[in-house]
């Protein structure tokens, strides 16, 4: 199986040790499941790898955009993780969950004045400023309040991570950050150092997401350290913090490799330490912001089959009770997933079909070319694996479908609701 929390017992798919067909019955479908133990295991793997390879000051931050709900922030607090947030909405939810916002880093390429004020008011630890205008706006708000606000600068290192275009962010023409190549990175450093109400703590880069490239993070670390040394030499400022962003890839199908977090972090650390030695630098406090690689394989979505349509000589469709509203990544990026017929795991998969949702749109596809047992029919349970990242957080109410609940699984036999299923009332709560 693609992840060690997926097993089969008596022909039934089990997730985190629990019977998925029973869970579908108990909580209804569509249903997002989250394996709490797996989330914790991943946080610990990052914490351990960081401490071992980068030292006790190093800090992994969970990228909230991958998945964001109160219970998850409670788990992040318990696991001693920092977080990255990209909107006042994420800040609000983290705060509601009691997360200590002094360990939060506020990203995005366009924070409004309201966002900046809201973040400072709520004690955000760090801004990650994207451009000079943003530094100016943070400076103005901090000056108004008579404080000195810590911030990092998002720098574009000019590295192609070889992932899908929508999530490649480290190239010079990216909408994010200030590029080293164009001189804008130096410009923003000089500008920031001259501001009395912001304290420049270091640099940040994020090259992309779902990255498997051999040495992408190593190259990014080296480019960023060279920049750090250049700023030291030219402007006498040695940044204490370097954040290398998120992006490690996960296994959606058997074709994807498995990344060993400890090994990957170790490789980046080796490259960073060698660069520091060459440049006469002390290793800065290293941060990384994994999102997907912490929560993706802790997630699974369950659906119930409605109709099976066979168009002889053409194509077969298996329609489920969810849609692109809870599973947008295939429609948006053509992302591959592993779909399983949870209640018939011991039958041969000899029937090819497109698993489709119930939105009024032909592009509402969960996955094409899925092999399922030929007996697939109404009331069967379809499981889509590796849906813990960028599913709930990207879900919509298109066609006025209610968002599924999130049920947490732990200890091999315990389950509880972390996010309730939306109701029809929720759908028009703001209508006046």
Catalytic residues, by residue number, are: 360
Task: Give how many residues touch ligand LLP by CB under 6 A.
Answer: 23
In the list 292, 344, 403, 410, the residue contacting ligand LLP (rule: CB under 6 A) is 292
In the list 63, 185, 366, 382, the residue contacting ligand LLP (rule: CB under 6 A) is 63
User: Measured between alpha carbons, how far is residue 20 from residues 41, 87, 199 in Å?
Assistant: 21, 34, 50
In the list 247, 284, 322, 404, the residue contacting ligand LLP (rule: CB under 6 A) is 247
Q: Which two tokens stand for residue 282?
A: 């002390």
Beta bridge partners of 156: 179
Q: Of the two residues 167 and 371, which places its CB atom closer to ligand LLP in the complex?
A: 167
Rule CB under 6 A: which of 153-172 touch ligand LLP? 167, 169
The span of 109-117, 181-189, 193-201, 387-395 binding ligand LLP (CB under 6 A) equals 387-395
Asked if 380 touches ligand LLP (CB under 6 A), the answer is no
Residue reference for tokens 């596809």 = 365
| Helices then strands, each counted (H, E), the chain | 12, 21
Q: Which two tokens stand for residue 308?
A: 């099976």
Rule CB under 6 A: which of 118-157 touch ligand LLP? none
How many CA atoms are closer than 13 Å to the CA of 268, on its beta-carbon side? 29
In the list 36, 115, 285, 289, the residue contacting ligand LLP (rule: CB under 6 A) is 289
Asked if 84 touches ligand LLP (CB under 6 A), the answer is yes
Q: How far is the CB of 63 from ligand LLP (least distance, A)?
A: 4
Rule CB under 6 A: which of 184-213 touch ligand LLP? 206, 209-210
Q: Give the count of beta carbons closer than 10 Å to the beta carbon of residue 312.
A: 6
The span of 60-68, 193-201, 212-220, 254-262 binding ligand LLP (CB under 6 A) equals 60-68
Q: What are phi and psi of 354, to 5 degrees?
A: -95, 130
Q: Of the two residues 130 and 380, which places its CB atom closer to ligand LLP in the complex?
A: 130
Asked if 329 touches ligand LLP (CB under 6 A), the answer is yes
Asked if 111 touches ligand LLP (CB under 6 A), the answer is no
Kind and range of the H or E element at 310?
A: strand 299-311
Q: What are phi and psi of 170, to 5 degrees?
A: -100, 5
Taking each helix axis from N to C end, the angle separating 70-78 and 36-54, rounded to the nearest 10 degrees, works out to 40
Q: Of the two residues 36 and 289, which places its CB atom closer to ligand LLP in the complex?
A: 289
Asked if 388 touches ligand LLP (CB under 6 A), the answer is no
The span of 112-120, 145-153, 246-254, 259-267 binding ligand LLP (CB under 6 A) equals 246-254
Q: How far is the CB of 62 from ligand LLP (least distance, A)?
A: 9
Q: Of the two residues 176 and 351, which places its CB atom closer to ligand LLP in the complex?
A: 176
Q: Give the count of beta carbons closer than 10 Å to the beta carbon of residue 38.
A: 23
The span of 276-284, 287-295, 317-325, 378-386 binding ligand LLP (CB under 6 A) equals 287-295
Q: Of the two residues 195 and 209, which places its CB atom closer to ligand LLP in the complex?
A: 209
**Given 3-state DSSP classes, what are the helix, strand and coil percentages for the chain, each rounded to the nearest 5?**
35, 25, 40
Q: Of the two residues 305 and 366, which places its CB atom closer to ligand LLP in the complex?
A: 366
Report the C-alpha gap between 337 and 3 in whole angstroms: 13
Burial 68-88 (b: 16+ CB within 10 A, else e): bbbbbbebbbebebbbbbbbb
Report the C-alpha gap between 261 and 202 in whole angstroms: 24
In the list 34, 43, 66, 244, the residue contacting ligand LLP (rule: CB under 6 A) is 66
Report the C-alpha gap between 395 and 387 in whole angstroms: 12
DSSP three-state, residue 135: helix
What does the binding site for ligand LLP look like in residue numbers (CB under 6 A)?
63, 65-66, 84, 107, 167, 169, 206, 209-210, 245-248, 289-293, 329, 389-390, 394
């Amino acid at each position: 199986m693609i992840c060690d929390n997926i097993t089969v017992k008596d022909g039934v798919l089990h997730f985190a040790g629990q019977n998925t067909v029973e869970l579908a019955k108990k909580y209804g479908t569509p249903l997002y499941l989250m394996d709490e133990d797996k989330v914790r295991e991943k946080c610990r793997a990052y914490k351990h790898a960081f401490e071992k390879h980068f030292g006790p000051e190093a800090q992994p931050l969970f990228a909230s955009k991958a998945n964001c709900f109160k219970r998850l922030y409670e788990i992040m607090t318990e696991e001693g993780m920092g977080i990255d947030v990209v909107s006042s909405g994420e800040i609000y939810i983290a705060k509601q969950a009691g997360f200590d916002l002094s360990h939060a880093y506020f990203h995005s390429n366009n924070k409004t004045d309201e966002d900046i004020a809201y973040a400072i008011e709520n004690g955000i630890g760090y801004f990650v400023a994207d451009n000079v205008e943003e530094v100016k706006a943070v400076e103005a708000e901090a000056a108004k309040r008579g404080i000195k606000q810590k911030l990092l600068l998002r720098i574009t290192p000019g590295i192609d991570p070889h992932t899908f275009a929508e999530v490649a962010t480290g190239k010079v023409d990216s909408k994010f950050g200030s590029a080293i190549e164009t001189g804008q990175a130096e410009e923003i450093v000089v500008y920031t150092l001259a501001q009395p109400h912001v304290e420049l703590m270091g640099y940040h880069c994020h090259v992309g997401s779902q990255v498997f490239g051999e040495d992408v993070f190593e190259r990014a670390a080296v480019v960023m350290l060279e920049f750090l040394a250049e700023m030291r030499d030219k402007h006498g400022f040695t940044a204490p913090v370097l954040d290398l962003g998120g992006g490690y890839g996960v296994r959606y199908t058997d074709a994807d490799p498995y990344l060993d977090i400890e090994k990957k972090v170790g490789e980046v650390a080796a490259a960073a330490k060698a660069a520091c030695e060459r440049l006469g630098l002390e290793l800065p406090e290293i941060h990384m912001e994994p999102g997907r690689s912490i929560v993706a394989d802790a997630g699974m979505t369950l659906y119930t089959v409605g109709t099976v349509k066979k168009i002889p000589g053409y194509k077969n469709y298996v329609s489920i009770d969810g849609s692109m509203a809870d599973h947008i990544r295939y429609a948006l990026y053509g992302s591959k997933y592993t779909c399983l017929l949870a209640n018939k795991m011991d039958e041969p998969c000899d029937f090819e079909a497109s698993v489709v949702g119930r939105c009024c749109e032909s592009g509402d596809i969960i996955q094409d070319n899925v092999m399922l047992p030929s007996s697939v029919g109404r009331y069967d349970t379809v499981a889509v694996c590796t849906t813990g990242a960028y599913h709930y957080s990207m879900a919509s109410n298109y066609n006025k479908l209610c968002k599924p609940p999130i049920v947490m699984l732990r200890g091999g036999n315990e389950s509880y609701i972390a996010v309730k299923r939306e109701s029809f009332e929720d759908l028009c709560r703001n209508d006046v």
